[in-house]
Amino acid sequence: MFKWLHRRKQPQTPIESTPVKSVNADEAAQADEWEEVPNYLEVDPANELTASLIAAAVTADTAPDAKLVLKHLYVENPEAKRVGLIASAIAAGDGHGHYVVKSIKKKVD
């Protein structure tokens, strides 16, 4: 009944290591031709008055004695939004899977 406990291990055959490919100059040049499109763009809070007022109103509601200083303000990147909408439309047309956009890259001219 417990024969599987007393089985001898089969001698393992040595595994051949695969050679690591070296990156040549052409592949490195192709990798540099693409740049990542950020989801959000940093803007100056003084230029975006609407977003600054909304942040101030939210802070004033939660902590009325606090002082608000906006150091960084980000707005949605319209290019990334457009690509996300196109990708979701294609995925909805396919209807057979679940897709996640992890990064968006564009070709550098």
Tens-binned pLDDT, residue by residue, of the chain (109 aa): 566 555 655 555 555 555 555 556 666 566 568 999 999 998 887 777 887 788 778 888 888 787 777 778 888 899 999 988 888 888 888 777 677 778 888 888 7
CA 58-72-35 angle, 5° bins: 130
Asked if 64 and 53 sit in the same domain, the reply is yes
Contact residues for 40 (Cβ-Cβ < 8 A; gap 6+): 74, 75, 76, 77
Query: Is residue 51 in a domain?
Result: yes
Query: Is residue 102 in a domain?
Result: yes
Query: Is residue 69 in a domain?
Result: yes
Query: Is residue 83 in a domain?
Result: yes
- Parent domain of 85: 76-108
Asked if 59 and 81 sit in the same domain, the reply is no
Query: Is residue 13 in a domain?
Result: no
The total number of structural domains in the chain stands at 2
Q: Does this model's pTM top 0.75? A: no
Query: Is residue 7 in a domain?
Result: no
Closest CA to 74 of 46, 39, 42, 38: 42
